[in-house]
Chain A
Amino acid sequence: MASTQPHATQTQGALLRRLVLAVADRVIESAEELTRLDQAIGDGDHGLNMKRGFEAVRAALASDPTDDCGALLLGVGRTLVMKVGGASGPLYGSFFLQLGKDWAQISDRATLIACLRKSVDAVASRGKSHPGQKTMLDVLFPLVDALPGVLETQLPDLARLRDLAAERAQATIPMLAERGRASFLKERSIGHMDPGAASSSLMVTAVCEVLGEAFRTSGALLTPAGDQP
Chain B
Amino acid sequence: MSNVGIVIVSHSPDVARGAADMVRQMVGAAVPLAYTGGNPDGGLGTSVEGILEAIDTAWSEAGVAILVDMGGAETNSEMAIEMLPPERRSRVVICSAPVVEGAVMAATEAWGGSDLDTVRRTAEELGGASK
Q: Which residues on A are within 8 Å of B, measured CB to CB?
A: 43, 45, 48-49, 52, 81-91, 93-94, 126-127, 180-181
Contact = CB atoms under 8 A, between A and B. Distances in A.
B48 A89 contact: yes
Given A90-B76, A90-B79, A126-B78, A85 B71 contact: no
Contacts of B44: 43, 45
B90 interface: no
B75 A85 contact: no
Contact of B76 (A45, A48, A87): A87
A91 B75 contact: yes
Given A82-B49, A86-B76, A94-B79, 10 more contacts: A45-B44, A45-B45, A48-B43, A49-B45, A85-B41, A86-B45, A89-B76, A90-B75, A126-B75, A127-B75
Interface string B15-41: 000000000000000000000001111
Interface residues of B, number: 20
Dominant SS at the A interface?
helix
Contacts of B76: 86-87, 89-90
A85 B79 contact: no
A108 B130 CA distance: 60
B47 to A, nearest CB: 6
Contacts of A82: 40, 47-49
A126 B79 contact: yes
Nearest to B49: A82
B45 A90 contact: no
B70 interface: yes
Contact of B41 (A52, A91, A94): A52
